[in-house]
Amino acid sequence: MGQNSRANYRVNTTKEAKTIASRLLKEYELQKVTKFGLPEIDDRYHYWRVPILAENGERIGEIVIDARSSLVVGKKSTTKDQLEARLLKRPGHRKKRVSDVNQRPKISSLRNTIGLGDSEELLLETPAESVDLVFTSPPYFNARPEYADYLEYDAYLNKMQRIFHQCHRVLQEGRMIVVNVSPVLIRRASRNEASKRIAVPFDFHRILIEEGFDFIDDIIWVKPEGAGWATGRGRRFAADRNPMQYKPVPVTEYVLVYRKKTSKLIDWHIRKHPDKSIVEQSKIGDGYQKTNIWKIHPAFSKKHPAVFPDQLAQNVIRYYSFINDVVLDPFGGIGTTSRVAHKNGRRFVHYEVNPDYVEFIKRDLCNWYLGDPDEITWVNTEIPRSIQTGFK
């Protein structure tokens, strides 16, 4: 899809889409009590979707326009009756509510932070609505001996839910949480038993919805040279040929994107950002990922068994945050999210329970941290003076 499929569009710009929608609202005699959100083109169905907002900015419906015929698609659009009913439910819609109009996204005052400990506890001490993006890869359920803390899957999920609950509290309104997660394979204990696949991402979906996030996207991270070969799959092609014994080698992981529930449209964060130059500088450059399939080589580290690649972190950070935003990783590992956030002009909050990984970051910091380590907030751990002298 894209430019070629748009060649025969009669409606090509947001302005044209708004003009058509405003004609309809005039017919409905609602043009004085409504306004438009940002129209978006839906390439798949060749539709323009023009959000209709009440005067206080709340979304009350949308007008859908066929981009090729320029006709309003009646059965997909919010009806006049629905718009009127929704407006009437909002008493005083004719008067602008000053608090709504003047409301702006908050600018967090958090400094770069490195904390040692269980993030469930560290997050309790983190101020509400002080984080602009959460990007994380949670520990695997029992996949490796070092994660054997969670012997029961339910206990593991409960722990994750408590941590996501805190993530929701510390995240600003309408901001994103992006979770890298994939199904796990529990290997069979003996030849007489079956191995088991656990669909962790689908349980995470339920948890995130329960905690008050809206689902936004499922990005599929494809590892070009494979990833699942080591699990035993892919070495059993003979068995694969028996119907029902077929088992594909997993070469993907999910990157699930959710947004903290809000009545505000996504462009509110752009329109109301207090610093227009930051918005401009944060624009995503050419060559960005245009589909939800991201081909990125996996990363390996001698220091940590499950790091994610810088490229993955960089995409997420650039696509879902502004420069100077605060990016939290509650399962920080050896600091990929924080290092990449810093390189991209964002602030970071790194929480990690394993002291060895925190010690590693302390040593590694002089390779990438450009500021004064004294300006980092250290929680449950201190930066030794000897490390400080290593800074350039």
Ligand X SMILES: C[S@@+](CC[C@H](N)C(=O)[O-])C[C@H]1O[C@@H](n2cnc3c(N)ncnc32)[C@H](O)[C@@H]1O
H helices within the chain, ranges in order? Answer: 14-27, 80-88, 98-102, 119-124, 153-170, 200-210, 237-240, 267-271, 276-281, 310-320, 336-343, 355-364, 385-388
Helices 153-170 and 200-210 sit at what angle, rounded to 10 degrees? 40
Distance CA 298, CA 250 (A): 13
The residue among 83, 9, 86 whose CA lies nearest residue 41 is 9
Of positions 34, 108, 126, 137, contacts ligand X by CB under 6 A: 137
Show the binding pattern over residues 259-298: x = contacts ligand X (CB under 6 A), - = does not.
----------------------------------------
Question: Binding to ligand X by residue 84, rule CB under 6 A?
Answer: no
Of positions 308, 320, 322, 360, contacts ligand X by CB under 6 A: 308
The count of residues interacting with ligand X (CB under 6 A) is 18
- Phi/psi for 286 (5° steps) reads -60, 165
Question: Binding to ligand X by residue 353, rule CB under 6 A?
Answer: yes
C-beta closer to ligand X: residue 34 or 137: 137
C-beta closer to ligand X: residue 94 or 144: 144
CB of 382 vs ligand X, minimal distance in Å: 18
Distance CA 169, CA 130 (A): 9
The residue among 331, 339, 336 whose CA lies nearest residue 376 is 339
Of positions 34, 112, 119, 338, contacts ligand X by CB under 6 A: 119
| The one segment of 13-21, 290-298, 331-339, 363-371 that binds ligand X by CB under 6 A | 331-339
Question: Binding to ligand X by residue 354, rule CB under 6 A?
Answer: yes
C-beta closer to ligand X: residue 34 or 166: 166
CB of 43 vs ligand X, minimal distance in Å: 33
Question: Binding to ligand X by residue 379, rule CB under 6 A?
Answer: no
Distance CA 155, CA 172 (A): 28
Question: Binding to ligand X by residue 118, rule CB under 6 A?
Answer: yes
Residues 202-229: b if buried by 16+ CB within 10 A, e if exposed: ebbbebbeebebeeeeebebebeeebbe
The residues binding ligand X (CB under 6 A) are: 118-120, 137, 139, 304, 306-308, 331, 333-334, 336, 351-354, 357
